Chains A and B, each alone.
Chain A
Amino acid sequence: MSASQNRIGSGVNIGVNRIGYFADAGIDFDLNGHQLHGGIKFYGPDLVFETNVIGPSLGYNYTFNSGNWFFGPGVHAAIFHEKKTNSKMFLSEFTISNKFGYEFGERISLYSNLGLGAVINQNSNLTTSYRSVSSYINYEFSLGIIYFWRVPADN
């Protein structure tokens, strides 16, 4: 399996970071090893969010292959908004990550992902409109699968 291929697929990855447990599902484009992801990221209520929260996510990885194994450094970002009981939060997360995985033929890709990045919260108090910004380091781990439903052999 080489990096010279154009594929389109759907994928999901599930993991955990300092915000909580998450799931990210979307469309993945593999253009000669340049992988683009566009999807929706979901967090359940826990340490940060009071409710189920979804937000758009974008990502890019460049994959290096060795046989059916691959690794792919990249960057990812997602944003969220939540109106809480007493405050509003606008959360953005930026992550530098590395995928490590295995290709089962042309269509199925399984991977693990390790990321390190930052979270920036813009907060406002609902009763006083007091605003502040907080930021902290984030790290995450996830497992994912992509099914490429359009591969070069389909053309």
Chain B
Amino acid sequence: MYQDTLVYGHAGTTIHPELWVYPANTKESVIYALDALGAEGVEIDIQMTKDSVLVLFHDSFLDEVSNLTGCVPNYNFSELTDLNLYNSKYEIVTLEEILAICFERNKKMYLDLKPFNYCIGADVNHQTFNNSLNKILAPYSTEQRTNIVVNTRNVELLEHLTDSSIVKSFETENIPLAIEKFKSGIIHEVGVKLSAMTASYADELTVAGLNFTLFSLKSQKEIQKGLLFSPMRIVTDNIAYTQKLIH
């Protein structure tokens, strides 16, 4: 029934500290998810620094998980390299480095784009974001780039992304709006939280021909429930258990 569902690790392996082997959105977490647990891909959170470097970072403010205050877009990348991330030895890593790790393993990526700068209450420049993304995608083939999904709540950002090979996903709980955007040709897929998904929404999406990714699946019960909707992709905090159910 859902044997074709692709399994992605959440923020590498998992976003939840109590389940960490390695912290979320670190190089070590990505490698562990792909090599040790055999995920087909990883979901990672992307923000842009002041000097337009795309990095992996989830939180709205640096204070929450590091020794720095403020927001990622307020710092140059060089200022973030000594970040005391999660009070540990782990470092903030660039998307460019993770792309290389994933592609050398023939794995896929689900990029959760976070363009909003909470420190100034506005998005980073969308065109600059697009330019930064295109720059690091340039070395890769069209076929490789089709294995990248970019997902965001911000449709305007998706409209600024000019690479025609990547898959554009709109994150929303408003399924009729997602179908409308899909029919307009603005998006290719939709990303939905498990808590917002229903059988009737899944049917509507299937009828419309709109593939969807489910996320926020942590417990075994949530993973079982999520797979019943037959999503194209599942972003899970328990890769091994999800693979067990699918295969």
Contacts and interface: CB of A to CB of B under 8 A. Distances in A.
A130 B100 CA distance: 13
B238 A84 contact: no
A152 B46 CA distance: 67
A10 interface: no
A121 B32 CA distance: 9
Interface in B34-58: 34-40
Which of A51, A131, A132 counts the most B-chain CB atoms under 10 A from its CB?
A: A132
Which of A18, A87, A124, A131 counts the most B-chain CB atoms under 10 A from its CB?
A: A87
A130 B102 CA distance: 11
A89 B244 contact: no
A132 B37 CA distance: 12
A123 B36 contact: yes
A51 B104 CA distance: 27
Interface residues of A, number: 25
B28 interface: yes
Given A87-B35, A134-B32, A51 B21 contact: no
Interface residues of B, number: 24
Interface in B11-47: 19, 21-22, 28, 31-32, 34-40
A136 B21 contact: yes
Interface in A91-105: none
A86 B38 contact: yes
A84 B104 CA distance: 20
Contacts of A126: 38
B38 A87 contact: yes
B105 interface: yes
Given A130-B104, A134-B28, A45 B240 contact: yes
Given A47-B19, A134-B28, A125 B238 contact: no
Interface string B113-131: 0000000000000000000
B106 interface: yes
Nearest to B39: A86
Interface in A44-97: 45-51, 84-87, 89
Given A86-B243, A134-B31, 12 more contacts: A45-B241, A46-B240, A47-B19, A50-B240, A51-B244, A84-B38, A85-B247, A86-B39, A87-B37, A123-B36, A128-B104, A134-B21
21 contacts: A45-B241, A45-B244, A46-B240, A46-B241, A47-B238, A48-B36, A49-B240, A50-B247, A84-B240, A123-B36, A124-B35, A126-B38, A128-B104, A128-B105, A130-B104, A131-B35, A132-B31, A132-B35, A134-B28, A134-B35, A134-B36
Interface of A: 18, 45-51, 84-87, 89, 121, 123-128, 130-132, 134, 136
